[in-house]
Structure formats: C-alpha cells, structure tokens
Amino acid sequence: MSGNAIVASLWNGGATVGAIAFDPTGQYLASGGSGSDGKVRVWDRSYHLVHVLDPQSPGEYVYSIAFSADERWFAAAGENQVIHIWDRKNGWNQIHPPDGNALHHDGPIWGLCFDPQTKWLASSNESHSTPQNIRIRQWNIGNWVLKDQSQRLNDQVYSLACDASGKYLVSGDSSARVTVWQTDPLRPVASTINVNQGEADAWSVVIVGSPHAILSGNSDGHVYRWIPNAVGWTEKNEAEKVSTSNEDATVNPTINSVAYNRKNGWVAAGGVGPSVEIYDLNLHKIRSLPGQNGTIWWVTFDPQGGRLAYGGLDGIIRVFDIAQMNRLDVDPPNNLYLESQQLTGLSVENGKIIVGGRRQGAGSILSLWRLQAKSILHNLFGG
C-alpha cells in the first residue's frame, strides 16, 4: 500500500511558484510568485496565510527566496535585478538601503543564500545584455553594502548554496558546471562539469553535511552527488561522483530543483516531468510522488525533516507529511481499518455496515460508507 499524505495544498495567488522555502524553525513556509503576481506569500504552521509581501517592484518574477539562520531576515530576488529584504523582527518591514547600488545585479537574480553564521548574503545573476556582467556577490548583513564579488563570469549562474561552516559556497551554472568557492576572499577552489552534450545547465545545488558532498539537478535529467577534491572540504580529499540512472532521467528529462533531508537521508528532485522522485543518498530510487499540472520549479524539505513541499507551473504548493507517508507504506491495511473503526464507530460484518452494534440496510450503507471514507481520508491525508 502507498499514499501521498498531502497535508496542505496552498494557492499561490494564481502565479507560478518560482521558489519555496521553510524558515529555520519550520514554523513558516514562504513562496515566491512569478508571472502575473510577483509577490511573496508566507503561511504559518497551520497553513494560514499570514503575510503577503509586495516588493513594490512592478513586473517582478521571483526566482529565489531565503531565510537567515538567526530568524531575522528574509530575502527574495528575481527578474528585476534587485534583492528585496524584509526585517522579520520589526513587523516584516522592507529594508531600503541608503546606497542605491546595494543589493543590485546587472541581470536577473537566480541564486540566494544566507551565510549560516549570519554575516553575509550571497547572490548570483544571469545576464543577456552586452557586455555581460555575471557575478557572484556577497553583501554585509545589516548595512547591505557589497562585501566581495567574483570576477566577471562567462556562464549564467542559476543556483547557490551556502556551506554550514560559512567558509564555502557552491554555484551551478549554464555550462552544467558546479563550482566550490572559498568565501573569504571569494575565489573558486574546485569545479566539475556534469553534462557534456546537448543543453548543459546545473539548475540547482544543495550541500550535504555528512558525507560532505554536493547534490546538483541538471538539464540531462540526472541528479549528481559530487565530493570535490578540495583542501578543507573533506578530511580524505578524495573526489567522487555518482548519479541517478539513465532510466531515472527519462522520468524528468530536466531536473529543476533538488533538496536534501538530513533526518532520513532522502534526496528529492523535481522538474519537467510527471513526478517528484525520492532517492537515498547513493541516488537509488525510493519512491515517486505524483507531480502536478506542469513543470515543477522547486522542491524543499523543512529543516526538521518532517515535511516536503513542492510547486511550479500550476501555482499550487503541495506539502507532504513524511511520517504519514512512511506509515502508509508500512502499516497493514487491517491496522488502518481498525483505526478508522475506532474513530468513526463504524464497522463491517458480512457485507453490512454496523453502527453501534446495529446493522444498516442497503439504503443507508452508501451514505455511511461515504462518511467512513471521508473520516479515513481526513485522518490519513489531512483533507
């Protein structure tokens, strides 16, 4: 038996879901809108909409959002080439730095991540103008002035991930190159290329704590796990790369987003395909979850490892309860039936529904069955 355990389906205001993030406590879930909306929505733990943040940036497409580890700052960025910052400790007020050049790029911004030590914010951009000015930049938290930046880059930088130590960040670009950067000063220390033919993009990167590795989602439909041979990155300094199978790559021909669940070692991947795929850390498939009507742009786990959320083209964020999902896989049907019997007071005997010890005739069986089914669904799936 298998189930999906969807506990929430959240409407993103009619806009494509361009980005999703849980805050460090897992109490809030935020989404960025793209297309007709361009706003950021924040839900609480009960999935009540508590904030609609308007960047006041007409025509904004939000491609990336991030919460700071100290629970104070929230950032969003996208098409309009500026990073929007809100101060959560002061009523979610939007920050407007006095320096007009602060928090800007010369092109749409795709990558955002806060230093886990809450000293700086990293960002990256693409640029289709001439001349190109593609860079990774670091901004000091608080005054938001430029701390450091990379040299001009030749490839669009689509994704960023900040290492827990604060000493490294990782980027993925339009040559399917995944690069490890030292952060002080900002300079590349290791890189690998994942795709060698056809469209070549590394759309998403995530850092795994143990073993210290990098996950990437790529335009060839594969998820890669890479351990770079870089001094200070691992104790052994032994490079390694593994990937999902060619068969897996046919399910989602392009992977737009990957996420890692530290609690149980799961890797989630979604993209241009019918499902979200779940793998173990060796990238062997565990299960598939039904996708949605259209491309999935973002998948993420909450920091506590209890929930998985994803969204994309159809404008709906779906949230799964992982414990419930696992329970549906391992609990025998009889156990689920006994639980539903206790909850509803209904049971079945020789094809007849029993309510409080009384048999019901055929005329009432259907309505009682519907009542029982509704109760079971509510208990198992939260809806």
Spatial distance between the Cα atoms of 304 and 307, rounded to a whole number of angstroms:
8
Output the CA–CA distances (angstroms, integers) from residue 238 to 42, 93, 231, 282, 291, in the order listed: 42, 46, 10, 16, 37
> Which residues, including other chains, have CB under 8 Å from residue 223's CB and lie 6 or more apart?
215, 216, 217, 243, 244, 248, 255, 258, 267, 269, 279, 283
At 287, is the pLDDT very low, low, confident or very high (cuts 50, 70, 90)?
Answer: very high
* CATH placement of domain 6-329: 2.130.10.10
Q: Quick one: pLDDT at residue 377?
A: 40
Domain boundaries of the chain, sorted by first residue: 6-329, 332-381
Say how many Å lie between the first and final Cα of the chain, rounded. Answer: 19
Give 261's pLDDT tier (boundaries 50, 70, 90): very high
* Whether the predicted pLDDT of 344 surpasses 70: no
Radius of gyration of the chain (CA): 23
pLDDT score at 6:
84
